[in-house]
Structure 1
């Protein structure tokens, strides 16, 4: 399986490299001959949701978490070797109701975080890997967390770091950091480092499962580059006043209102600026190239329906090509040869019976509508076709 994945990565590089030349000669033809009233949308909604549908007690905190994510560096931006991202799809936003769960071996986890570490407001988590598959090279995890006050952030650094295992280790030119190293025996070593900056807690964990002996100095070099980049980016971050956070609107430019919503209340629907959307990607660097080429500014996720806004219609076509050729989630799928009735421009994929290890992956369809590219999944192919038709109709209403 690993050999196949590496081959997929190689194909991904090639596909995204040539995606700029893949646009249709007339990208606007994707809507010209479609009879919208004849599309089979099942029971799915085809009118945009009201703004109030996305507002609840946590929507403002989620919006502030995304704001912090917009001012958080991607790992490849401070170390070009870390081209791969969130392999397992872990949650990356942090709010008071969904606090950090990744401070390993400290006794501080999501269940007791707020009781042990008071004052959390919101934050963002990032991941970086040198290799596509975990445990084949160094890995990075970072937190950029906002607290109510600077003293609360400093207290958080102290209370978490003092419980962490490992030996103290200095990082050059970062005198205010607390850093601990655990060399490891069987699995390899790790370095964890914390610092506070005004009301922010900054954290990085560098895991190295392959180097023997463990190279603490190399991990410290990576940590230093993170802190330098993160501190520079925070200069442009303007914290939303605490009293104003509940008023923050989760939707932007009505994009979420025109994205088919999730039916699972556990799934967070949100609008993400391009930088934050890249943070969610498994192929961070490759998708960055595609986003730059297509001029992507926002991405929305409604669960099984995802929408990207590109520069124009031609750019949306190029982006859709890159996504179809560069998405890990298409491993185990094959072109279905079918499309939603009345929507021949849709590109759909079904489970490949020759690869049963991926049998639980939902079918997928890709569409473009003007400057928007969308990817839609469903329980089965008929359901996916209906969802795709509904998403198509929603996007035709977005000006």
Structure 2
């Protein structure tokens, strides 16, 4: 995955500090008897191969932590879409599409992306729709890009607006009285309205679509324009709290300041599982890739989650060991999930098989807690999910 490759790290095994110890778990789980396959079981000393490039990626994750959810813009947008990722290039902008999903801004002309965006540093994209069934929903996809200078952002907004979407047949310009400087394109056939708005070093990209109206051959440009304006307004307001990292300081951004990536199972080469990016997001940022942000937020609040690390699965840091156990129980009891036996040697793991309508859901999922950390992994194969959770548990235990 392009996005995952952007944060590639050199892995050095080292002893180190980490999660709190759990004597009862150590007595009941013999790590040497776990089937961990080819996955690592020791904490890693993560070190950037290219600090400047990794710094751009970390900047993208920083943007994700302050970006509004689509639901923050319109409460009806309750179903997050899968195309969420940090990006540092046109290729990583399309990373989720490479994983088999529809990229949020796949309508952009990526062959011209680099030429259109000189001075581009990093960005983050997110989105949601009003119904699980896209055919009867309206949708908002929102992205922020940060540039080296105000002029670079202004130039890029105009160039991007002239490329890709704006060239589609039947597309015509539209105008916002709230944001008269925004570059806006409207396609009546698809009931889609795209806006590019430059503010300081940022470009906000908003794509508002009414799929149901398109199917019914009804039109509501004012409604989509209002949604786009609201997306710009809320996003710009959130950006006031974000201080871009100077280009010459990007290499100084810490890769693992909380010491959680070192305890997160590394993604195998070529792996294309869900959440096709690596790194950490805070409790707000981690709501972007959540299918149901309301349920996830409630669980985070209940268990005191403040940090989530992504790799070959995800590790969440909860309030304490009791909260971690609660997280595993609650997350493993979701709708359409049927319990299956845990892997051999790890009786405390909670494993489930999905039986539901979603074609994008991984069939197997396992969770386990160690200290204040709760780990979750998923796979298309039961044996693989068993090996992943066993290795992830061992890695957390070896980090004490």
Category of TM-score, reference length = shorter chain = 0.7 to 0.9
Task: State how far apart, in whole Å, the 1-side matches of 2:191 and 2:207 are.
Answer: 11
Cα shift at 1:135? 2.5
Local SS of the residue matching 1:135: helix
Q: Taking structure 1 as reference, are residues 220 and 30 closer, same or farther at Cα in structure 2, changes over 3 Å only?
A: farther
Which residue does 2:393 correspond to in 1? 392
Task: State how far apart, in whole Å, the 2-side matches of 1:232 and 1:79 are.
Answer: 15
Task: State how far apart, in whole Å, the 2-side matches of 1:64 and 1:256 are.
Answer: 16
Q: Taking structure 1 as reference, are residues 218 and 365 closer, same or farther at Cα in structure 2, changes over 3 Å only?
A: same
Contact 1:171 1:177 in 2 (8 A): yes
Local SS of the residue matching 2:330: helix
Which residue does 2:56 correspond to in 1? 61
Which residue does 1:95 correspond to in 2? 88
Contact 1:64 1:240 in 2 (8 A): yes
Which residue does 1:6 correspond to in 2? none
Task: State how far apart, in whole Å, the 1-side matches of 2:223 and 2:32 are.
Answer: 60
Contact 1:93 1:124 in 2 (8 A): yes
Task: State how far apart, in whole Å, the 2-side matches of 1:210 and 1:257 are.
Answer: 45
Local SS of the residue matching 2:178: coil
Which residue does 2:263 correspond to in 1? 258
Task: State how far apart, in whole Å, the 2-side matches of 1:205 and 1:97 are.
Answer: 17
Of the three residues 332, 336, 339, the one matched with 1:335 is 339
Work out the number of aligned pairs and report it: 358
Cα shift at 1:394? 1.4
Q: Taking structure 1 as reference, are residues 234 and 391 closer, same or farther at Cα in structure 2, changes over 3 Å only?
A: same
Task: State how far apart, in whole Å, the 2-side matches of 1:366 and 1:54 are.
Answer: 31
Local SS of the residue matching 1:125: strand
Contact 1:100 1:113 in 2 (8 A): no
Local SS of the residue matching 2:204: strand
CA RMSD of aligned residues (A): 2.8
Of the three residues 185, 199, 221, the one matched with 2:201 is 199
Contact 1:309 1:371 in 2 (8 A): yes
Which residue does 2:367 correspond to in 1? 366
Task: State how far apart, in whole Å, the 2-side matches of 1:387 and 1:71 are.
Answer: 31
Task: State how far apart, in whole Å, the 1-side matches of 2:69 and 2:34 are.
Answer: 40
Which residue does 2:303 correspond to in 1? 294
Q: Taking structure 1 as reference, are residues 40 and 213 closer, same or farther at Cα in structure 2, changes over 3 Å only?
A: closer
Of the three residues 260, 264, 281, the one matched with 1:272 is 281
- Runs of 5+ unmatched residues, structure 2: 1-21, 95-103
1:348 aligns with 2:351: yes
1:321 aligns with 2:329: yes
Which stretch has the larger CA shift, 277-286 or 190-199? 277-286
Contact 1:62 1:250 in 2 (8 A): no
Contact 1:62 1:93 in 2 (8 A): yes
Task: State how far apart, in whole Å, the 1-side matches of 2:250 and 2:79 are.
Answer: 32
Which residue does 2:254 correspond to in 1? 249
Task: State how far apart, in whole Å, the 2-side matches of 1:91 and 1:225 are.
Answer: 20
Q: Taking structure 1 as reference, are residues 322 and 133 closer, same or farther at Cα in structure 2, changes over 3 Å only?
A: farther
Which residue does 1:282 correspond to in 2? 291
Task: State how far apart, in whole Å, the 2-side matches of 1:76 and 1:289 are.
Answer: 15
Contact 1:54 1:250 in 2 (8 A): no
Cα shift at 1:151? 0.8
